[in-house]
């Protein structure tokens, strides 16, 4: 939950910066976040059901997760503090990307029985990283 909240908080921060007349970019990014949150929320709720979390805790945890993105939007202007917005934005996006890479690779690698190292999974991750580097 903490990793998901940190990711939601950081990935929404760019929406709190001034858009300098490029609101269509913000609109697309906003919808990407909204669509991105649906499967994450389903996975989080399913995990809590599987772990027999009480109803009150489920509501509390989902509420915390739901409020993380709006909180990120609200605090982003405070973080920039008048500094170079592009530099701050790049750093925030780096943190958001790093968190989701950490969460996703941990889930992928930890899915095997007894958490054994799986060469095939590692190769898939390396191919993914390579494609990301080649596309930039």
pLDDT of 62 above 70: yes
Q: What value does the mean pLDDT of the chain take?
A: 81
Mean per-residue pLDDT, 96-122: 72
Structure tokens at 100: 């989701």
Question: For residue 27, what are the CA distances in angstroms to 40, 60, 72, 93?
Answer: 20, 28, 16, 17
The predicted pLDDT at position 111 comes to 65
Whether pTM exceeds 0.95: no
Judge contact between 7 and 93, C-beta under 8 A.
Answer: no
Q: Which of 98-102, 110-114, 122-126 has the lowest mean pLDDT?
A: 110-114
Categorize the per-residue pLDDT at 69 as very low, low, confident or very high, splitting at 50, 70 and 90: very high
Cβ-count burial 63-93 (b if 16+ within 10 Å, e if not):
eebeebbebbbeebeebbeeeeeeebbeebe
Look at residues 21, 6, 22, 33 and name the one whose alpha carbon lies nearest to residue 102: 6
Question: What is the per-residue pLDDT across 7-61, written as a single tens digit (0 to 9) for each?
Answer: 888 888 888 876 555 555 567 788 888 888 898 899 889 989 998 889 999 999 9
């Amino acid at each position: 939950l903490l990793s998901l909240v940190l990711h939601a908080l950081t990935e929404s921060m760019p929406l709190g910066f001034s858009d300098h007349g490029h609101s269509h970019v913000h609109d697309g990014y906003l919808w990407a976040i909204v669509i991105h949150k649906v499967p994450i929320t389903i996975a989080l709720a399913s995990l809590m059901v599987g772990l027999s979390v009480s109803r009150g805790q489920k509501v509390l945890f989902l509420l915390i997760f739901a409020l993380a993105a709006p909180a990120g939007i609200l605090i982003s202007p405070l973080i920039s503090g008048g500094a170079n917005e592009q530099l701050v934005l790049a750093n925030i996006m780096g943190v958001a990307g790093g968190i989701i890479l950490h969460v996703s690779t941990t889930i992928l690698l930890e899915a095997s029985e007894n958490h054994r190292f799986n060469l095939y999974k590692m190769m898939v991750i390396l191919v993914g990283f390579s494609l990301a580097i080649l596309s930039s």
